[in-house]
Structure 1
Amino acid sequence: MPSFIGAALAVAYVYVEQQKDQERSIAETGRAFALLIDNEMRHQEGILRTLAASPALAAGDFGEFYRHARGAAEAVDAVAVLYDLDGKPILNTRRPLGVALTGRDPSNLPALMERYGTARTLVSDVFYAPPVQRYDFMMQVPVLVEGKPRYHLTLGMHVGILQRLLERQQFPQAWIATVFDRNGRIAARSSEPKHYVGTLLRERTRKLAATTDRDLVFPSHTLTGVPVRAQITTVPNSGWKVLIAIPSAEIRRVPMEAAALLAGMMAVLLVLAVARFHRHAA
């Protein structure tokens, strides 16, 4: 009996520890993916910063700057737009230089400037861009001339750059990985992206995500009713987030298999010990 109790406790211990290890692994995966998104954002910011430091722009040579900016933006399937400090567009690399430009792109950058100021890099939330009929987001940096703010330079990008980054991670098929903005609008998704990109997460998930910038783990269900364990991780510097949802059955499977293997081994050892005891008793 003591041997049986000891074996049962060992199996239970292995199950708990394996489950903890798996949850830690999932958490590390979420953080690593969030950092990859941040690296991608920083790459795009580097393009903007390089353009903002253009000598042609500082000299007011819009023709030269336009040619430089158009080449850089087209290389990443983006659009560069230069605004004055009042928000009036000066040039747009998808429009011929010199044509009349009106209004701002339909992003929430003006609201972000009111909230955070104009001295830092700003990343908008996802919005629908009618001219190209797709979901985009924008990044903005200040342009300083002689140490003083002179313009705002933005780069409008397709959310597809994040979708491609997500697909390169090759998450397990049972997992659902999602990238979403501050409003809970989906920018990339590992499963059925064409159906979900541009839509909002469930209200409950949006509210939970808005409560903290720290890692958040909670039980949930997929739209098809499958129970999942979900983790939300914040992408540094942008305020966007990553959601990884894993079926609860998948989370239990690995520790159960480990515990079952140990239980089998313990059972074999117990049977051998009993048989040896009977031989000696005879």
Structure 2
Amino acid sequence: MSLAYDETVTPIRPNLRVVESRVADTDNGFIMLAMELYEELIGANLTKNQAKVAHAICRKTYGFKKKMDRIADSQLAELCRISRPKANIAKNELIGMNVILSEGGRIGPNKNISEWKIPESSLIGNIVTKKGTESVTKLVTPVVTKKGTHKRNTLKIKENTNTPLIPQGGKTPKFNPLDIPIPEWLNCAAWTEWVQYRGQSKKPIKTEISVTKAFNILKQCLDEGHDPAEVINMSIASGYQGLFKPKYPVRKVGVAQPAKPSNHIPEGFQ
């Protein structure tokens, strides 16, 4: 039996593609970073997004031989490969922990490591320290009575699938105003100080709509020529629990007008 070759059949060949390998090289740029600072960032008890944003800020500052710089949230989000709101939240949390400094709209790493306020981790490997067990409530390990362990009593218990699940302790998660993305025109340090002031005054900001209203008032002040940071500082200094538009007008720097020439000719001059 002879096998005839069918010219209409296309032979199957593997699709060969050239894959370019990426190799890091200092010729393409490098960062001068202190070892002690780098080691603290590695061992710091930060969340995944906080660690990403902290390294991204080092890249955007030290990578250009700058201590601080104006870095938009969109740039951090692109470099960290996360959304802009998540990058904004992580940045504000790092500012609140003094890991990142904020000054006049510019941000940069805080080289004074002793000023960092990062909570220590209570988990070392698979061992939980005594400090970590203090937060475990009795609700986690409920006591089972003898009546509850009886076979006849357990058969009477019916599972109610319509009952919604509630967090342990019966309380909803506490609202954190710093979780709301801060507008780029607002000074992050001033807003964080305002939130901390309200909390220390036992008048914390409890709803998202309160944050939105505060942003609207500060934006109106900015449009009228007032500095939102000064409005916040004035409210804190006066002991106010709210933000108000300044009653004084915006100071305008006047332009000196040239003096008009005099037609009077002194005696002795002709």
Which TM-score bucket, shorter chain as reference? under 0.3
Larger-Rg structure = 2
Higher helix fraction (1 or 2): 1
